[in-house]
Amino acid sequence: EAPPAKLANIVILATGGTIAGSGASSTTTVGYTSATVGVDNLINAVPELKKVANVRGEQVFQIASESLTNEHWLKLAKRVNVLLAQPDVDGIVITHGTDTIEETAYFLDLTVKSRKPVVVVGAMRPSTAISADGPINLYNAVLLAASKDAIGKGVLVSLNDQINAAREVTKTNTSTLDTFKTPELGMLGYIQDNRAHFYRQSTRKNTLDTEFDIGNLDVLPQVDIVYGYANVNRIALDAFVTAGAKGIIYAGVGDGSLAAQIKGPLAEARKKGVIIVRSSRVGQGIVARNGEANDDDLDFVTSDTLNPQKARILLMLGLTKTHDTKALQTMFSIY
């Protein structure tokens, strides 16, 4: 295959995670330490990158992704926006822990103001492991970010030779390499034979087409998640409301169903001004408005197909714009 006439300029923003992790031995695949290897070493481990793009690295932070905060997201999104506004940057790759990669990717999907490719990548095995997946995943991510076909597709998550959309992808297995999937709607494509192969794209608005602007934000509204289960009680909900939550995602059972003993407390919280979003712990399917609860009467919002952790992100950003439940519900149907 003929090399491209001019290589794309790709910036690799490193944030930590297992892709930058190291273990005691080559057979250590759990019990390793995340976020120990710096961005230059990640890049130097894959000399093949030079063939597909001009790459340079920046260490934005160095943490395991389970410790990520809203402030990390704001810092990262601002940096991505600054870089993508530069004519000499064609795309961004973000190396990231896999535990919250889907949340970061969706946050960026809603807040990056560019159609240039942004690819978030991680690894399931630390860099020191036999058959570590980090190097091939990084190679594929850079290839994808340099690909014209990735322009305008929203933020992408790429591991295990597959391309998934930020809004839809989720971690489905605690530890296997094929953990990232879009179970209900399907992945977007593959990376194979030094090429990105796209077959579909998300119909939901992203990047330049969203109303969200984090340029002047230093904090995000407090939104917490209350988990549903048989014998659920109101203790966690009340604690979050007392602690100042502006929004609650209720990860209900089934179709976002509400136990009798949680419905009243959620309605009370709504009357105090807290926005309630009914989501589901199931992980697939639409939470039907006015289905398992009368959302019109309760003045609740439903999460469409967003899982609770992604519904939290959309609600935080939504609350920077409005507290009107109709307007918020519209956001859940377009993003």
Ligand X SMILES: NC(=O)C[C@H](N)C(=O)O
- Inter-residue contact 161 to 137 (CB < 8 Å): no
Mask for 88-117, x = binds ligand X (CB under 6 A): ---------xxx------------------
98 marked as binding residue: yes
Q: Is the CB of 53 or the CB of 124 nearer to ligand X? A: 124
- Shortest spacing between CB 163 and ligand X, in angstroms: 18
Q: Is the CB of 97 or the CB of 256 nearer to ligand X? A: 97
Q: Which residues pair with 16 in a beta bridge?
A: 63
Single out the segment in contact with ligand X by CB under 6 A; choices: 59-67, 160-168, 264-272, 294-302: 59-67
Choose, by CB under 6 A, the member of 124, 266, 269, 317 that binds ligand X: 124
Question: Of residues 18, 111, 128, 302, which has the active-site annotation?
Answer: 18
Q: Is 172 a catalytic residue?
A: no
Q: Is 98 a catalytic residue?
A: yes
Task: Give the three-state DSSP class for 18.
Answer: helix
Record the tokens describing residue 9, joined without a space: 């300029």
Q: Does 15 bind ligand X (CB under 6 A)?
A: no
Q: Interior CA angle at 301 toward 224 and 327, to 5°? A: 110
Record the tokens describing residue 215, joined without a space: 């340029």
Distance CA 325, CA 4 (A): 49
Q: Does 159 bind ligand X (CB under 6 A)?
A: no
Q: Which parts of 27-56 interact with ligand X (CB under 6 A)?
A: 34
Q: Does 134 bind ligand X (CB under 6 A)?
A: no
Task: Give the three-state DSSP class for 45.
Answer: coil
**How distant is the alpha carbon of residue 185 from its chain centre?**
16
Q: Does 164 bind ligand X (CB under 6 A)?
A: no
65 marked as binding residue: yes
DSSP 120-133: EE--SS-TTSTT-S
Cα–Cα distances in Å, from 310 out to 62, 117, 141?
23, 21, 22
Residues making up the binding site: 65, 98-99
Residues making contact with ligand X (CB under 6 A): 17-18, 34, 64-66, 97-99, 122, 124
Residues designated catalytic: 18, 98
